[in-house]
Amino acid sequence: MKRRDIVVLAARSVGRRPGRAVLTVMAVALAAALFAALLTIAGTARTRVLHQLSKGGPLSGIQVAAAAPDPTQIDNDQARPGEPKDLDDAAIAAIRALPDVRSVTPVVSARILVVPPSPMTLADGRQVTVARNRRGNDDVRGGFFDTQVGIDLTHAADLPISLLAGRLPTVGVPSEVAVTPSWMARFGLARTDAAAVLGVEVELGAPRDFGDSVRARWTRAKVVGVVAQQASGGAILAADDVVHAARAWTLAGRGDRRFADSSPYSGAFVIADSLVKVSAVRNEISDIGYSTAAPENLIATVDRYLHVVEVVLAGIAAIALAIAALGVTNAMLAAVRERRREIGVLKAIGARDRDVLALILVEAGVLGLVGGVLGTLMGLGFASIVTAVVNNYLTGQGLVGVQADVQPLVMLAGVVGAGVLAVLAGAAPAVRAARLPPREAVDA
Amino acid sequence: MVGAVLLVGCSTKPAAVPAGVAGPSPTYVAVGASESVGSGADQPLVEAWTQVFYRTALPIGATFVNAGIPGATVADALEKELPLAIEQHPAVVTVWLNVNDLVAAVPAAEYESGLRRLVHALRQDGRATVLVANTPPLDHLPAYLAEAGSDFPPVADVLAAVDAYDAAIGRVVAEEGAVLVDLHAAGLAARADGTEAGLVSSDGFHPSTAGHARVAAAFADAYRTKP
């Protein structure tokens, strides 16, 4: 028999019993849906948990402090820094030159005087003022001191920064800043109010000690975003050149270091080539003379456990697929029984055993593939619904949202796996049909 | 367990930040005395006329340095404020220095000479817009009226001194290409509409919060309508 004839015959036999075909396809689809949904949800959860542990940054990220390492803290994930030590361009260059280092992003900070509007009108029309009786809120009448942190905004994706609302400042626009929940807390605002502070304009004064007075170099900025994490100990995030200018003004003053320490950079964020290289890179940075922190051990441990979860879920899905395969076997056995005469006629007119085998296998494979495609799409849809529900809950709590981690490999495995499993499930009925003697089949 | 795991806080990773178009970012320097640092206002950091001018008349990208020193005369400004001002390479400068010179009885000619040198230097060969305020009316100030009959000069002498100073300011502004901020006319207008008293702070001398706002508005109007 020609291949085309086999396919046509298989399709006709599927159509001859539409009810049984639909039920068989649905069984396979449900199993494939379970497979796709469980693995997608598990993958999304894994990504999110690791993302949270790394505070939004790359998993192989390392925070470098402007401080010497504490010898008693070397192996700790969150090592307590030792004595302050200037972190300058030479140190950054030395770290950048280390093997297994993918990137280094310095962070600069400056002490500034913040003067918000009083009252401050939020985007939703509410008016708020600086909460009294809160430590630090009454530093200066009409304003308060805080720390402004500057980063290279072109490398923002490499940093442990994630947004609650809005966006990061635009490169080349010095009059934009992002703020943190701690800044909002000064006004008695919660994380859920993040969107409301967007558009607020504040005045920022870099102080300089002139000996007989303190004068400020004032700039104005609009709040364009709220970041979820504390910005390296500061409440306001801006472009690094803006903060450098503020520091330069302050450091030109005389007297004590009330407003700025001597270190050109307050820290740096290093990305190692991979998670397994983090420990080695941390040791090398410690040898250069700086304290580091990275949740490498915690991430590795959690990653292992999450992998176990994924394996278990895949096992559950495999059981479901096996059950569906039994359904395919049962359906094909019934089909073979009903078509003994047809099979006998085919053999009588010249069909070989392997043609009959191929006929049954193609029929099973078609049912499996159709079920696999339907089920994978259903599984994706279900995973998307679950993700949306979780996302709404998180954003309602003032946390950053989640996105479904759709893995093409899982989708492909769902479709192809269902097809292959159906073919395997149809093997026994196919062999039985192939071995039917023509005369016995015709006499049935 | 998976559901519980998903309830951990989540984040939206910021997208790549596009390069923006930098707007105008002039530097503004205030040269002056106690009024310029906000004396008399309830919250000087917020309500000083220099701060209000910076906030309302200049674009958001502007930078502001207040070089003002309480009690400064023109001579003090030349010595202590001018170097800081020039260091900032300002595009906009405000100058309000007259009352302390009057109180110190600096002769009008000497005042004019010092003011001319100050404004000339601040103009930076025409690169900066310099707004110079003249003397507001002083004869109705409660602080002055409280001293009536003491060693303070009589009203006629005060008015003559103010006129002489304002004439000097007018000449300096015209010759140096600066912009006049007519606080004297603004003060007389407030007197005419009955709001003068509310523009003076409780110390009887410095502008009140409302007074600072009025001064800022005068500077802003002059800046916007400058030739």
| Amino acid A232: pLDDT | 65
Place of tokens 């407003």: A259
**What is the DSSP-derived secondary structure letter of residue A388?**
H
Written as six digits, the tokens of A228 are 């979820």
3-class secondary structure, A289: coil
pLDDT of A96 reads 95
Cα A337 to chain centroid, rounded:
52
At residue B42, the 3 state secondary structure works out as: coil
* Average pLDDT value for residue range B163-183: 96
Assess whether pLDDT exceeds 70 at residue B14: no
Q: What is the pLDDT of residues B15-43, one digit of tens each?
A: 444 444 445 789 999 999 999 999 999 98
Q: Are B209 and B45 in contact (CB under 8 A)?
A: no
Element (H, E) at B139: none
In angstroms, the CA A433 to CA B1 distance is 46
Does residue B61 register a pLDDT over 90? Answer: yes
Give the model's pLDDT for residue B17: 45
Beta-carbon neighbour count of residue B28 at 10 Å?
A: 24
Per-residue pLDDT for B10 more than 50?
no
AA identity, residue A342: E
Return the higher-pLDDT residue of A284 and B6: A284
- B150 reaches A (C-beta below 8 A): no
DSSP, res A149: E
pLDDT score for B5: 33
With CB atoms and an 8 Å threshold, state whether A175 touches B45: no
Return the minimum-mean-pLDDT range out of A20-24, A42-46, B205-209, B210-214: A42-46
Task: Please name the residues between 54 and 73 in chain B that touch chain A, using a CB distance below 8 Å.
Answer: 54-55, 60-67, 69
State whether B9 and A118 contact (CB < 8 Å): no
Query: Out of B1, B22, B46, whose CB is closest to A172?
Result: B22
Mutate to test the interface with B, among A140, A173, A308, A312 (most CBs of B within 10 A): A173
pLDDT of residue A396: 76
Torsion of CA A305, A309, A310, A314, to 10 degrees: 150
Instruction: Answer yes or no: do A162 and B13 touch at CB < 8 A.
Output: yes
Could you give the CA distance from residue B207 to residue B38 in angstroms, rounded to a whole number?
8
Q: Which of residues 308-337 of A touch B (CB under 8 A)?
A: 309, 313
Does A139 contact chain B (CB < 8 Å)? no
B154, HSE (Cβ side, Cα atoms, 13 Å):
1
Phi, psi dihedrals of residue A160, rounded to the nearest 5°: -75, 65
Are A41 and B7 a contacting pair at CB < 8 A?
no
Q: Which pLDDT value is given to residue B181?
A: 97
Q: What is the DSSP letter of A72?
A: G
Report the complex ipTM: 0.87
Burial of A227 (0-12, 13-18, 19+ CB in 10 A): buried
Q: Give the integer Cα–Cα distance in Å for A88 and A262.
A: 10
Nearest to B64 among A141, A218, A309 (CB): A218
* A159 neighbors A57 (Cβ within 8 angstroms): yes
Q: How many CB atoms lie within 10 A of CB A157?
A: 15
pTM surpassing 0.90? no
- To the nearest whole Å, the CA of A99 is away from the closest chain B CA by 26
pLDDT at B20: 46
Q: Output the tens digit of pLDDT for each of chain A's 444 residues.
A: 788 888 888 888 878 788 888 988 999 999 989 988 888 888 888 888 877 777 666 778 888 999 998 878 766 777 788 888 999 999 999 999 999 999 999 999 999 999 988 889 999 999 998 886 555 555 677 788 999 999 999 988 888 788 889 999 998 899 999 999 999 999 999 999 999 999 999 999 999 988 888 889 999 999 999 998 765 678 899 999 999 999 999 988 875 567 777 888 999 999 999 888 888 999 999 999 999 988 777 777 788 888 888 888 888 888 888 888 898 898 888 888 888 888 888 888 887 888 888 888 988 898 899 999 999 999 999 988 988 888 888 777 767 677 777 888 888 988 998 899 899 999 988 888 888 877 765 665
Q: What's the CA gap between A304 and A113, in Å, rounded?
A: 46
Cα of first residue to Cα of last residue in chain A, in angstroms, is: 23
Q: With beta carbons less than 8 A apart as the criterion, state whether B45 and A196 touch.
A: no
